[in-house]
Amino acid sequence: MSISFKDKVAIVTGAGGGLGREYALELARRGARVVVNDLGGSRDGTGHSDMALQVVEEIEKAGGEAVSNGASVTEYDQMEKMVADAKQKWGGVHILINNAGVLRDKTFAKMEPEDFEFVVKVHLLGSAYASKACWETMREQSYGRILMTASSTGLFGNFGQANYGAAKLGLVGLAKTLQLEGAKYNIKVNSLAPVAGTRMTEDLFPEEAFKLFDPVNVVPAALYLVSEDAPSNAIVGAGAGGYHSAWVEMNEAVWLPEGERTVEGFAANWAKISEESNLHAPQSGAEQSGAILQAMQKVTGTG
Ligand code: NAD
């Protein structure tokens, strides 16, 4: 089975280096026309350069089609213009990989509010802005594939990355609602938690791990998740050559009779309430109240 992106127009944000560059190169190799977006800043988001242009040159040399875009994902009007330009040139936008990112790691005690705001702005608002800029076009086309770049930090936490973790789990929340709203328009939205040796991780990974986690190994997961037959609402982890899924799950609700609905009653039942068994991954928020009502029915036989 060969997976083609012929006749598809793809935008990859933050594609001037690291993972985004690999996604852009492979999408173009497989026939997509690619908007290579990158403002070309440093790892902490300061400065500008022509990183995107260099990737476009690489794609063109290999016989592919691409344009560079130096806009910041934090500027909604620039995202709208990026989409309008792509539509004018190629007639549509089918794929968006929200990949642009920055780091400003510090313990929460030392983190300045500006560092928190900036990191949330680039990752969460930047992805929301780029997605919003594509949304109407994808609805009109009845075709859209959006990938959010989450992170193990968002899913599971990581010391020194409160700003980044908040933004990254926020992206999963964004994906979960967009996939519901996009379903009837054939818009599929997934989240990816990559692990890769890039400039973002160069001083965090030991040298051997840096080599092992070559970003090319993330490409299969990312491209599958934006392909024609992509699933929707998946959370996938990828790195080195290992691939897995993750879920947001809940256990079965414990129904407390009226007399036990006290702080003490809750405490007495905590072991049961927090038991990691009979887990279920709801497909929408409404399933939470459904599960609670089911627990009530089981105990009271009513509802
Ligand atoms: P990277 O620093 O090489 O890539 C990020 C790119 O985003 C850079 O080229 C940067 O110039 C660009 N960028 C930053 N701010 C931008 C803005 N406002 N507008 C447009 N472009 C902007 O790092 P990477 O490791 O390739 O990271 C890619 C994505 O993967 C990021 O979202 C990152 O958080 C995520 N991620 C990476 C890892 C990893 O192990 N490398 C782990 C989890 C998540």
Q: Which residues pair with 193 in a beta bridge?
A: 237
286 contacts 292 by C-beta, under 8 angstroms: no
180 contacts 189 by C-beta, under 8 angstroms: no
Q: Which helix (H) or strand (E) holds 88?
A: helix 76-90
Q: What is d(CA 235, CA 190) in angstroms, rounded to the nearest whole number?
A: 6
Q: With a threshold of 0.90, does the pTM exceed it?
A: yes
Q: Helix (H, G, I), strand (E, B), or coil: what is residue 44?
A: coil
Within 6 Å (CB) of ligand 1, which residues are found?
Answer: 13-14, 16-20, 37-41, 43, 45, 51, 72-74, 99-102, 122, 126, 149, 151, 194-196, 198-201
Name the pLDDT band for 220 (thresholds 50, 70, 90).
very high
Mean pLDDT of 109-122: 98
Q: Is pLDDT of 149 > 90?
A: yes
Share of the chain above pLDDT 70, in %: 100
Mean pLDDT of 128-144: 98
Mean pLDDT of 107-128: 98
Distance of CA 284 from the midpoint of ligand 1 (Å): 29
Mean pLDDT of 25-47: 95
ipTM computed for the complex: 0.99
Q: What is the 3-state secondary structure (H, E, C) of 214-274?
A: CHHHHHHHHHHCCCCCCCCCCEEEEECCEEEEECCCECCCCCCCHHHCCHHHHHHCHHHHC
Name the pLDDT band for 49 (thresholds 50, 70, 90).
confident
Q: Name the closest-CA residue to atom 8, ligand 1.
A: 14
Tokens (6 digits) for 28:
């173009």
Q: Is pLDDT of 303 > 70?
A: no
Q: Name the closest-CA residue to atom 18, ligand 1.
A: 72
Distance of CA 44 from the midpoint of ligand 1 (Å): 10
Mean pLDDT of 36-59: 94
Mean pLDDT of 267-289: 97
Q: Is pLDDT of 235 > 80?
A: yes
- Tell me if residue 164 is catalytic: yes
CA distances from 136 to 38, 150, 185, 230 (A): 23, 23, 10, 20
198 CA closest ligand 1 atom index: 25
Residue 279 identity (one-letter amino acid): L
Q: Which residues pair with 237 in a beta bridge?
A: 193, 244
Distance of CA 101 from the midpoint of ligand 1 (Å): 4
12 contacts 97 by C-beta, under 8 angstroms: yes
The mean predicted confidence, pLDDT, of the chain is 97
Residue 28 identity (one-letter amino acid): A
